[in-house]
Amino acid sequence: MKFIYNIFIWLYPIVARLISGQNEKAKLWVKGRKGIFEQLEAAFKSNINPVIWIHCSSLGEFEQGRPVMEALKAKDATSKILLTFFSPSGYEIRKNYDGADWIFYLPMDSALNAKRFFSIVKPKLIIFVKYEFWYYYLQQAKLQNINTILISGVFRESQPFFKWYGDFNRETLRFFSWLFVQNSMSVALLKEIGIENNVTISGDTRFDRVITIANQFEPIPLIEQFIGNCKKVVVAGSTWLEDDEVIYHYTITHPEIKFILAPHDIQKSRIEECSKFYPKAIRFSQLKEATETLKSNVLIIDNIGMLSKLYHYATICFIGGGFGGDGVHNVLEAAVYGKPIVFGEEYSKYREAIELVEIVGAFSVINTLELESILNKLFSDNLLYNKTCGLAGDYVKSNAGATNVIMQYLKN
């Protein structure tokens, strides 16, 4: 497996360069790493403060790491925070985040890159978020005896750590000083491979993050203008074409309901796709100039950063991704507001989606007919609606506290 890993880390940058002319994310991935070590050396040349290095793969992992970052910033005024990303979808959106002192792409993993990175940054503490397992970076941390922790980790039996061929992957895990995991299943799996004395169930820091977002909610005047006096609003977040195909009919047959659609991808081609699918819809960027807003019951959000606030305005929330291979997107951003949640059938990888369905705080549907049936029930049955709202909101509150568990460890 180590041989295959080395081929992967050698081949990945080559492929990224080859496709960068046609693929925007690959282009950003390559561009962001051009001269990366020179950038790091310039940034850290005069630094005399201790450095806490926090690494996230992408935007979702950033949201999980953010509560810990902000708690560290508040507790430790002497240390500075380096935040790194692997993916452009995280870096490009959060490169101006003011909670970190430096924000960079992570140089591709290799023995030489790891040594050079550590010689420049000199971290005193390292935090990886959820699924990040870069062998040479973790090995170098272990060799230098730097405290390295994983937060919001979640493990499944299907992962290579727990297979007969997973010796290399298991070695990577053993480089961590401590692993904070989301659930008891992860603890049991890790115990099977001899990792048990440095594992703690902390829960998922995303619960803490969405509670903070909800508590800091600020009104969006243009959204309120679009909704007007309408009492029924469906907010559909992180949607793909497969979701549009299920939602579309209901938007046509229920003109009295307002629909706010926030596609997962807001590239020009995707927004144009949505506009063709919903020909009478208005885009958020056009809302200021719109003179006939009330004639449209569908609003397409064509920017990033609003979704977590949009759920506040929903009567019912639809979460996209559940009709595709990767599965449903973040359901907690909606549940924190105490709103019923509906999504497609692909959600088995996500603990919070499973548990919300089990307690009837959320509903999974397989097609347009099932979606319309559950929406009709929720809109017409006040008892069911109010019960579902309460269960969704209470679920989030009852699972908060992961950040405090992690911070207690770091304090000790």
Q: What is the pLDDT of residues 208-224, one digit of tens each?
A: 999 999 999 999 999 99
Contact 63, 209 (CB under 8 A): yes
Q: What mean pLDDT comes out for the span 332-338?
A: 97
Q: Are strands 282-283 and 298-300 parallel, antiparallel or unpaired?
A: parallel
Residue pLDDT, tens place only, 368-391: 999 999 999 999 999 999 999 999
Q: Rounded to the nearest 5°, which phi and psi values hold at 28?
A: -65, -40
**Structural domains in the chain, sorted by start:** 43-203 (3.40.50.11720), 214-398 (3.40.50.2000)
Q: CA–CA separation, 66 vs 267, rounded Å?
A: 26
Please compute the mean of the pLDDT values over residues 264-293 and round it to a whole number: 83
User: Tens digit of pLDDT for each residue in 141-180?
Assistant: 999 999 999 999 999 999 999 999 999 999 999 999 999 9
Cα angle: 242, vertex 344, 185; to 5 degrees: 130
Q: Which of 103, 190, 200, 210 is nearest to 407 (CA)?
A: 200
Positive or negative torsion for Cα 172, 174, 176, 180: positive
